[in-house]
Amino acid sequence: MLHDRRIPGSRANIDHLVVAASGIWIIDAKSYKGKVEQRDVGKWLQKDNRLYVNGRDQSKLVGGLARQINAVLEAIEDADIKVSAALCFVDSEWGVFSKPFHQGGVLVTCPKRLSEAIAEPGPLSPTMVMNVADRLAAALPPSVRVG
């Protein structure tokens, strides 16, 4: 696991990177209060799924992961490794029958379900996991916070 990694050439960061047998996971952790849900706000016969938290449209959070995904893809130099992105809401409410969902290719979930997804079996051996993690650590240095 790599935490708070800087994206070179920008002020942006990646909250968490996890390299597991299932691949590389880019995790943007959010501490938002309220219910997390996906709503279809499209017109008749037109789907327009949006991410809502506490009744507010937070779909922009999904788009914010694009830069992070690109940075990871550049760091691994197009190696044939699955890269997954997740928005993980740590303090939010999930209904009794709520399930994680995909929004724009990003998994929207809670910590427990995210850990289950990361733990899925995959093609990366322990040696490959370490090599990929080392490559990511070198390409995406830790953020330096002042103050």
pLDDT at 146 over 80: no
Mean pLDDT of the chain: 92
Sequence spans of domains, the chain: 2-139
Q: Is the pLDDT of residue 36 over 70?
A: yes
CA distance 12 to 129: 25
Q: In this predicted model, which residue has the larger pLDDT, 121 or 12?
A: 121
CB atoms within 10 A of CB 117: 15
pLDDT tier at 78, thresholds 50, 70, 90: low
Mean pLDDT throughout 24-45? 93
Question: What's the start-to-end Cα distance of the chain, in Å?
Answer: 25
Residue with tokens 């008749």: 44
**Across 21-44, average pLDDT:** 93
Strands 49-53 and 56-57: antiparallel
pLDDT at 53 over 90: yes
Cα separation, 18 vs 16, whole angstroms? 7
pLDDT in tens, 95-141: 777 899 999 999 999 999 999 999 999 999 999 999 999 999 999 99
pLDDT of residue 38: 92
